[in-house]
Amino acid sequence: MKLRLATRGSPLALAQAGTMALELSRLHPGLEVEFIRIRTSGDIFADQNLAQTGVKGLFIKEIEEALLADRADLAVHSAKDLPTDLPVGLALAAYPRREDPHDAFVGRKNLSWDAVKPGHRLGTSSPRRCSQILLAKPGLEIVPLRGNVGTRLQRVVEGACDGIVLAEAGLRRLGCDVRREILSEKVLVPAPGQGALAIEGRVDRPEIWKLLAVLDHLPTRREVETERAFLQAMGGGCMTPLGALARADEAGVALQVYCEDNGKSVRLSGFSRDGVWLAADLARQAKARLS
């Protein structure tokens, strides 16, 4: 049997898709996985500020269209890129075990996070990172920075900025041997779904869902669904200054969140056996404090 796996063509997307393809082949001997590379709106608008494009699901829209048109059987996404509402006919078949969800700081010439001071230039195009970084380190100059991981790391080497912040999971999946510091959620609450992969497919293909079910990691699913529930309750998207990090165990789900609106910011945390209920409760509290 052959599965057609839709993916972006970036090095990170291909690395993530490759890992899942190898795991599927290992778990289902004889299964063949073919990559279908798709250029998305996020790639097309590579030189623009994504928050100003007005396009939702920038990194997945064209991939979902390929699934719905039966040009692909499944897709591997970074969970943080997924809008909270999926197209009719598609659903998330599996969340593989999550990688480290935190952000990491990479400094020029071994600049440490503690040594970062007012006037230093820090590269990021993420409103979430920018908002929290300026709270932790007032007086920094934020340098808009897009492109794949390798491009952003090269900008640091070239001196375009004194440091950058990016996802630790991406560095690990690419095997980047670069000196960095992982930033605690006390400094930078990650994006909802950061560090997790989400495998999307058509709901009318039960034979494919059966193949994908072996990849699903229940604690990761509980965590990401809790984080996405908070994102949905806040009405946010991937370019919203909002962070959420859930940790699930047998007792329940702990959730820490951050959000900013009109110059006001709030951090909240809680614990419950019901992660979706907790997400809605923290969203209610956050909206009240930001109003």
Catalytic residues: 81
Burial 114-133 (b: 16+ CB within 10 A, else e): eebeeebbbbbbbbbbbbbb
Q: Is 144 exposed, middle or buried (0-12, 13-18, 19+ CB in 10 A)?
A: exposed
8-state DSSP, 57:
S
208-214: which pairs have CB atoms within 8 A and are 24 or more residues apart? Answer: 208/3, 208/73, 208/74, 208/93, 209/93, 211/3, 211/24, 211/28, 211/31, 212/24, 212/74, 212/93, 212/94, 213/93, 213/94, 214/27, 214/28
Segment holding 258, helix H or strand E = strand 252-261
